[in-house]
Amino acid sequence: MTDTATVAAPEESGTANKHLGLALLVICAAQLMVVLDSTIANIALPHIRDDLHISQGNLQWVVTGYALAFGGLLLLGGRAGDLYGRRKVFVIGLTLFAVASALGGFAQNEGMLLSSRALQGVGAALASPTALALITTNFPAGPLRNRAFSIFAMLSGVGAAIGLLLGGWLTGLDIGSVHGWRLTFFINVPIGLVAAFLATRVLAESEKSRNSLDVFGALTVTLGLVSIVYGVEHGGVPDTSGHTHWGSGETLAFLIVGAALLVAFFVVERRMKHPLLPIRILTNRTRGVAFTTMFIVPAAMFAMFYFLSQFIQNVMGYSPLQAGLAFLPFPFAMVFGAVISSKLVAKVDPRFISGTGTALAGLSLFMFSRLHVNDSAANLADLTHRWVGGGMSPVYVDGVNYWTQIFPYIAVMAFGMALTFIPMMLTALHGVDERDAGVGSGVLNTAQQLGGALGLAILSTIAVNAITSKANALVAQLPAGHGAALTPAQMTVSPVGQAAFTHGSTTAFLVGAFMMWGASALLWIVLNVKHSEIQGDHTAPGAMA
């Protein structure tokens, strides 16, 4: 973060970097690993759920736990790099990430897996912001540095989709007694350790700052956000009778404590000499709109990956590898959209580009909300009877065609995201002083990660409630004995459970669509910065994460 640290040019660092290609490979490999881990476990979720006996309500924490720790500590990770040396913090982050990945691969229960995912998030929060800053430290200003930033941003943008594809392939590779989902964690171990080793050889270190670390700010903002997300998740999970916990003492306590900690964070930051987050970053209307947009958009996008990956496997019957391949349109459409968006930002105002992008993403989610299965009483009774008798798989679909109902809208979503991310990235950093450029990028990345985590928690709550309500209604329609014969575990994977899951997922998709359209309206109505203004900025770009 350049507000408090002087960046050493490669020539001045004492270890002039003669291996720029290898340096970029190390930085980008680390960033790709960090970003794709936000989705690589999505494809494996059904297998993780069955192997470790995780409830559907708690399953989303496999994704949310990582994103929350990652986003909550991004500002602290970047600040630590300024104070103690970016290469040093980068190496520590990669090593911690690799160790946490090994623990996740060996996990024998829900608690161990969720703890390892949170620890992965901590390692990612140390490695990711310092990775971006290390490009400035190691690459001379000019074409080389600009090219490095472009490659970094592209990998950050498509990493989520690559994670789904890689996760699908690995999940299907059961090796002896090692279940394939564990490989989605083990693969990070050699990559992380090799990258950490090479970083000490090919990356130059930055100069250190004499300013103090805002530990109180980091603790209050992280604990505050964790408390609120947990409160939202806990409040919406139904008990055995189908009732939620929104009015429970535990839910209210976490929500109140979380809100109080966030208020304390902003109050203290105003008074700190060297705050974790200078309040001046947030007071500009243009940046406020950009940060808000980048908070909302990942929430709906994370939900798309989370629910659609399970729908494709559980309901449509795709293997993990097939499910990963089903998302292949995403990186291609993302790259195509990024090329177009990069050209448009020089000629068109951001609100038109990103407003269109979020509108297209909303359309994609709306079309996903129209997916359905035949959940008539007669059909479910027949399917349940044959399934309990062992005569069929619980997978069934009535009229869902991948090529016409899923493929095109994955591409539309990716294209819309590309139109949104690049203009919002530039807008978020528009007018940021040189001393605040690093923290500005940190806020942008934090908004994306925490928006995804909090949004997924809320949409998962909505989905779980819809699933429970639908399952109860469907069981009540079955002939006597059909529903009562199912255990809770059987109910999850039964035809009734799949129909209920479809209803819950489509409900989440519909809410996500309105979130995207709300972001689109915000951009069209409120954002008024001109393309000529953001083109005049010389601040180094942030990254899409």
Tens-digit pLDDT profile for residues 301-320: 888 888 998 899 888 888 88
Gap between the Cα atoms of 365 and 412, Å rounded: 10
Task: Specify which of 52-66, 304-318, 360-374, 476-490 reaches the highest per-range mean pLDDT.
Answer: 360-374
Kind plus residue range of the DSSP H or E element containing 469: helix 437-477
Phi, psi of 402 (to 5 degrees): -60, -45
In which band, very low, low, confident or very high, does the pLDDT at 112 lie, cut at 50, 70 and 90?
Answer: very high
Record the tokens describing residue 239, joined without a space.
């008990």
Of 260-274, 355-369, 499-513, the poorest mean pLDDT is in: 260-274
The radius of gyration of the chain from alpha carbons, rounded to an integer in Å, stands at 23
Cα–Cα distances (Å) from 169 to 39, 163, 285, 323, 348, in that order, read 13, 10, 44, 9, 40
Q: Rounded distance, CA 308 to CA 456, Å?
A: 13
Q: What is the pLDDT, as a whole number, of residue 390?
A: 57
Q: Treating both helix axes as pointing N-terminal to C-terminal, what angle do 437-477 and 285-310 enclose, rounded to 10 degrees?
A: 40
At residue 242, the pLDDT reads 56
Q: What is the pLDDT of residue 361?
A: 97
Per the listing, tokens 């990612």 go with 124
In 3D space, the residue among 185, 171, 166, 158 whose CA is nearest the CA of residue 97 turns out to be 185
Lookup result for tokens 């929430």: 299
Please write the tens of the pLDDT for every residue from 117-141: 999 999 999 998 888 778 777 887 6
**Between 56 and 29, the higher pLDDT residue:** 29
CA dist., res. 385 & res. 378, Å (int): 11
Whether pLDDT at 70 is above 80: yes
Segment 465-477 shows an average pLDDT of 85
Does residue 163 contact residue 37 with C-beta atoms inside 8 Å? yes
User: If you write DSSP's letter for every residue of 204-257 in order, what string do you get?
Assistant: PPPPPP-SPP-HHHHHHHHHHHHHHHHHHHHHH---TTS---TTSHHHHHHHHH
Residue 107's Cα: distance from chain center in Å? Answer: 22
Q: Which residues pair with 209 in a beta bridge?
A: none
Range with the lowest mean pLDDT among 87-91, 294-298, 483-487, 500-504? 483-487
Non-local (6+) Cβ contacts of 325 within 8 A are: 165, 168
At residue 11, the pLDDT reads: 42
DSSP assignment of 324-393 equals: HHHTTHHHHHHHHHHHHHHHHTTTS-HHHHHHHHHHHHHHHHHHHTT------HHHHHHHHHHHHTTSS-
User: What pLDDT shows up at residue 2?
Assistant: 39
How far is Cα 301 from Cα 417, in angstroms, rounded to an integer? 9
Asked if the model's pLDDT at residue 150 lies above 70, the reply is no
The rounded percent of the chain whose pLDDT value lies above 70 is: 83
Tell me which amino acid residue 494 is: S
Per-residue pLDDT reduced to its tens digit, 43-61: 888 889 989 998 877 887 8
* Band of residue 536 on the pLDDT scale cut at 50, 70, 90: low
* Per-residue pLDDT tens over the stretch 193-248: 999 999 999 988 866 666 677 888 888 988 888 888 778 767 766 666 556 677 88
What confidence category does residue 173 fall into, taking pLDDT thresholds of 50, 70 and 90?
confident
Question: Is the model's pLDDT at 432 over the cut of 90?
Answer: no
Q: In the predicted model, is pLDDT for residue 430 greater than 90?
A: no
- Which bin fits 53, alpha (ψ -120 to 50), beta or left (φ > 0)? left
Per-residue model confidence (pLDDT) at position 405 = 94
**SS3 call for 436:** helix
Which tokens sit at 253?
A: 């306590």
Taking alpha carbons only, the member of 424, 415, 426 closest to residue 295 is: 424
Write the CB contacts of 249 (distance below 8 Å, at least 6 apart in sequence). Answer: none
Q: Judging by beta carbons within 10 Å of its beta carbon (0-12, 13-18, 19+), is residue 271 exposed, middle or buried?
A: exposed
Q: With beta carbons less than 8 A apart as the criterion, state whether 294 and 451 touch.
A: yes
Q: How high is the pLDDT of residue 416?
A: 95
Give 175's strand partners.
178
Interval 469-486 mean pLDDT: 72
Structure tokens at 103: 């623990």
Residues 6+ apart with CB under 8 A from 255: 227, 228, 231, 232, 235
What whole-number distance in Å separates Cα of residue 271 and Cα of residue 264? 11
Rounded to the nearest 10°, the torsion over CA 419, 425, 428, 429 is -140
**178 has which bridge partners?**
175
